Amino acid sequence: MASFRKRSGKWQARIIRDGYPDQTKTFDSKAAAEKWARALESEIDKGQFVDVSEAQRTTLGDVIARYLVEVTPSMKGVTEDSIRLKAIMRKPIARWSMANLSAARIAAYRDERLKEVSGGTVIRELAYISAIINHARREWGINVTNPVQMVRKPQSPQSRSRVLTDDEVSKLLTALEPTGRRSHWTKPAVQLALATAMRRSELLSMRWEHIDLQNRTAFLSDTKNGESRTVPLSTATVQVLAELPRHISGVVIPVKFFTLDAAFKRARKRAGLDDVRFHDLRRTAITRMAEKLPNVIELAAVSGHKSLMVLKRYYRPTAAELAQKLG
């Protein structure tokens, strides 16, 4: 049964039912309080009641902050994910309560972000928000629908296909020469990326104890797809590794992710290659390897791809080359 009392000129309605959390809400008039109480009691009687009090007290920013503490540390991309999520927390949308986080507000956030960043970035941010809301619903008792699922996503950008030419590789390596205050780790990191097709995270996780220069192999215990693999090393790779100093940490390239990223961006600017990204080195390496390893299974063993359909993009024979094979 609902009870009502007047406090400071407002009417407070309170509903207490066994097996349900207490529900309290304040209104300007007693009639409004009674209307709310009747509707809520009707939902309880029909078994349709959903407690949204926690969702009303909790903002999207609060949920993201908890996610950063409890979930993100166990994820592979913890550093990048943390930076992106903290950036979302600074946006106005993070101040909305979970109960009031509507599809219209998510759509407005999408439209504002599209004025600032690419469609691909917005798609990733919406995916972050959606995943966090789903986790809050499953694990933290935030009883809300997921408004992101009702919002139209921006058009996915075309997959990137940038491959460096031999001349561009030469310019980049020249710009990476460790002169002055430049790090002497950036150039070998780029050389290894071009020679092994490893992802940046894989390069930075390599340890000397897992490298066998005699048999020309490197064991990667933790990769993007969650599976370990042993990478064959070319003679060029072995030469780069043999010339590297051994750091006391045992890590082959002992620099942080964002330190390498910043140094690479400065080098590409000096080389006049502003459109080049670090991941383009992996694409360039795989494209070159595809010429030496026409068997897509062998290429996948080197690159670590699970999907052979993805690897097909790296095989780009010309019509003239195919004609020669046909005889």
Q: Are 300 and 208 in the same domain?
A: yes
The torsion region of residue 197 among left (phi > 0), alpha (psi -120 to 50) and beta comes to: left
Question: Rounded to the nearest 5°, which phi and psi values hold at 194?
Answer: -75, -25
Choose, from 187, 199, 283, 288, the residue flagged as catalytic. 199
Q: Which domain holds residue 31?
A: 2-49
Q: Are 111 and 215 in the same domain?
A: no
> Does a structural domain hold residue 214?
yes
> Does a structural domain hold residue 102?
yes
Q: Are 74 and 191 in the same domain?
A: no
> Does a structural domain hold residue 159?
no
Task: Mark whether 247 is an active-site residue.
Answer: no
In this prediction, residue 65 has a pLDDT band, given cuts at 50, 70 and 90, of very high
Q: What is the pLDDT of residues 118-164, one digit of tens each?
A: 888 999 999 999 999 999 888 987 878 899 999 999 887 777 778 89
Choose, from 110, 113, 200, 282, the residue flagged as catalytic. 282
> Does a structural domain hold residue 158?
no
Question: Rounded to the nearest 5°, which phi and psi values hold at 230?
Answer: -105, 125
Domain with 274 in it: what CATH number? 1.10.443.10
Give the CA distances from residue 288 to residues 8, 194, 281, 282, in Å, rounded to whole numbers and listed in that order: 76, 9, 11, 10
Q: Are 120 and 36 in the same domain?
A: no
Please tell me the pTM assigned to this model.
0.66
What is the total count of domains within the chain? Answer: 3
Report helix angle 166-175 to 257-270, nearest 10: 110
Cα–Cα distance measured from residue 270 to residue 12, given in angstroms and rounded to the nearest whole number: 67
At a CB cut-off of 8 Å and minimum separation 6, what does 212 contact?
218
CA atoms 212, 213, 215, 221: torsion sign: positive
The structure tokens listed for 195 are 């020679």
DSSP 8-class letter at 315: -
Cα–Cα distance measured from residue 229 to residue 258, given in angstroms and rounded to the nearest whole number: 25
Task: Mark whether 282 is an active-site residue.
Answer: yes
Q: Are 78 and 189 in the same domain?
A: no
The structure tokens listed for 149 are 């699922």
Choose, from 17, 216, 270, 305, the residue flagged as catalytic. 305
Choose, from 10, 35, 57, 224, the residue flagged as catalytic. 224
Q: Are 232 and 321 in the same domain?
A: yes
pLDDT for 168 equals 94
Task: Mark whether 279 is an active-site residue.
Answer: yes
Task: Mark whether 224 is an active-site residue.
Answer: yes
- The count of other CB atoms within 10 Å of the CB of residue 261 is 16
Q: What is the pLDDT of residues 68-123, one digit of tens each?
A: 999 988 887 777 888 899 999 999 999 998 888 899 999 999 999 999 988 889 99
> Does a structural domain hold residue 98?
yes
Of 88, 117, 150, the residue at which a domain comes to its end is 150
Cα–Cα distance measured from residue 238 to residue 232, given in angstroms and rounded to the nearest whole number: 10
Q: Are 14 and 137 in the same domain?
A: no
Q: Are 146 and 272 in the same domain?
A: no
Of 99, 118, 150, the residue at which a domain comes to its end is 150
Q: Are 189 and 314 in the same domain?
A: yes
Cα–Cα distance measured from residue 261 to residue 80, given in angstroms and rounded to the nearest whole number: 12
Mean pLDDT of all residues in 262-289: 91
Choose, from 10, 57, 279, 292, the residue flagged as catalytic. 279
> Does a structural domain hold residue 155?
no
> Does a structural domain hold residue 161?
no
pLDDT at 191 over 90: yes
pLDDT for 86 equals 93
Q: Are 262 and 195 in the same domain?
A: yes
54 or 117, which is more confident: 117
Domain with 134 in it: what CATH number? 1.10.150.130
304 or 200, which is more confident: 200
Mean pLDDT of all residues in 31-59: 73
Of 168, 172, 161, 158, nearest to 282 by C-alpha is: 161
Task: Mark whether 137 is an active-site residue.
Answer: no
Q: How many residues does the chain have?
A: 327
Q: Are 119 and 38 in the same domain?
A: no
pLDDT for 318 equals 67
Of 150, 179, 207, the residue at which a domain comes to its end is 150
Cα–Cα distance measured from residue 24 to residue 69, given in angstroms and rounded to the nearest whole number: 31
Do β-strands 229-232 and 217-220 pair in parallel, antiparallel, or remain unpaired?
Answer: antiparallel
Q: Are 180 and 308 in the same domain?
A: yes
> Does a structural domain hold residue 127?
yes
The structure tokens listed for 3 are 């009870």
